Structure 1
């Protein structure tokens, strides 16, 4: 009887302690699932803030962007003749502390991303520098630990087996299929807005992309477009000027006959929908250029190009009603 009473007392005591902790946490404004980015700041990351206004939204939404990490692992999969090139690239993709991209990813970045408690994470392409068993395995190990919902839009470096002994593009695509969802078009629909991702935007966009953009545009919600390759600006030449200065006089955007990525008929129709005066696309988010840029591509459509993760850039996107 005494033992039962003792156990009951211990149980009541534990419940009381838990209740006190909860009350104190509430009063102090502490929430385990509250969005925060202090862990990135403490780790020395460069935060790029993007604010997107959506009318009548019920609460702020927070997303994180990561692209152009270029995980590079120069193992025996690399062709002997290309090993000096790959070694040089591995040494180039380092942060300010000299830490290589694959170590940044393997040691800490996935944990920091999950600790933010964002509504979602956008991996914007070129997460790996070439598609090999080793680089994909490294990427998968980190992604498997992330509980936050995420979207991973690929680019050429994510899929192509650059510098490998076995130059099998089909195998590269099969490897990427084992990572996570790998469809031509991916999207997240919310009550007041839509996130739409173009996969493999370093290639001509497929008919499915046009069909999905047309379909989602009819829902009369603002569309936030994710694409590895940015869209050429029709109203601000500074994006083209910066690209040509950084990339040997090449405008590495989708646009027209003068840009590096010249659209075919289908891709042009997609660009026409984005450029249209009544376009439902309100924001374009991209990477690829290895520098940051912010401006408009039409009078109504804003674009932000994020700096590369291998240099420590992390994008923080806040969507709210602007009040």
Structure 2
């Protein structure tokens, strides 16, 4: 008998004074699809098979595929009749033709509005060097999910503003920071979604424990030179540090009622400031998701 997929869904409730009606938003992250057509080359297909096996070995038992897991989460969103879905990156493990087609097809099954921001795997290939230039060159693949500001998008649902930014290189540009602040100036209560979690002292021990001692969070400054080389990233830019300071106490930041990310593959909740929380969500390849219930005060 085929083993049934199990959903490990974390539930989060946020009270929003003055909200017209309750809303439910489902967050899906890190499904890491590993699909490739034979015509895309033997090397890519071999890598795809090896990585698929690796992710499945880390996940729940069963003979289903990573694509089955994503499609199961899409079905769950439709069955639950949620008001919106947000994908916070690494939905695909690399941008092969087949991965892109399968992901778009899955998104097309949704019966509600959705928001998608790429993670560091969505636009890079594991067997190639990772650079900022590669990320920017990949942006045409994801343009349909961006606003006129590259790597940014926002949708409004029931009086809430859902803001997404691509921080998949561990950085935010000044242009992206401006986009977030401009969205906050609309005056609506907001949620912020991105792939890489914020650096928070309370989150750091769990991240380091899970990821070989490395502080894989946006705004972390205590990387070793070897870790930076291994992860193919750089120390935070000025605009990144300015954002991480602003989100704690900057003018307008109080309108962001919660921050949600993926990347680290586990459920966790930490305070940014009193009453405003930061959430990381269990990887979709492990059956994880998060249901965000926004309720009237």
TM-score range, shorter chain: 0.7 to 0.9
1:50-69 alignment to 2 at 5 Å? 50-69=12-31
Shift of 1:141: 1.4
TM-score with structure 1 setting the length: 0.76
The residue number in structure 2 matching 1:100 is: 65
Q: Does 1:288 align with 2:255?
A: no
Corresponding residue to 1:227 among 174, 187, 194: 194
The residue number in structure 1 matching 2:142 is: 176
Aligned mates of 1:158, 1:292 — CA distance in 2: 21
Aligned mates of 1:265, 1:135 — CA distance in 2: 34
Aligned mates of 1:78, 1:275 — CA distance in 2: 47
What is the RMSD of the two structures over their aligned residues, measured on CA atoms?
Answer: 2.8
Shift of 1:201: 3.3
Q: Does 1:199 align with 2:166?
A: yes
Q: Deviations over 1:64-89 (max 9, x none)?
A: 01000000025443563x66554331
Q: Deviations over 1:134-157 (max 9, x none)?
A: 111111111122221000011121
Q: Is the 8 A contact 1:232 1:297 kept in 2?
A: no
Larger relative contact order, structure 1 or 2 (CA cutoff 8 Å, min sep 6): 2
Q: Is the 8 A contact 1:93 1:100 kept in 2?
A: no
Q: Is the 8 A contact 2:192 2:260 kept in 1?
A: yes
Q: Does 1:317 align with 2:292?
A: yes
Q: Is the 8 A contact 1:161 1:172 kept in 2?
A: no
Unpaired segments of 5 or more residues in structure 2? 229-233
Shift of 1:277: 6.2
| Count of aligned pairs | 274
Shift of 1:200: 4.1
Q: Does 1:257 align with 2:232?
A: no
Unpaired segments of 5 or more residues in structure 1? 1-41
> Which SS does the other structure have where 1:157 is aligned?
coil
Aligned mates of 2:237, 2:187 — CA distance in 1: 27
Q: Is the 8 A contact 1:156 1:202 kept in 2?
A: yes
Corresponding residue to 2:182 among 215, 218, 238: 215
TM-score with structure 2 setting the length: 0.82
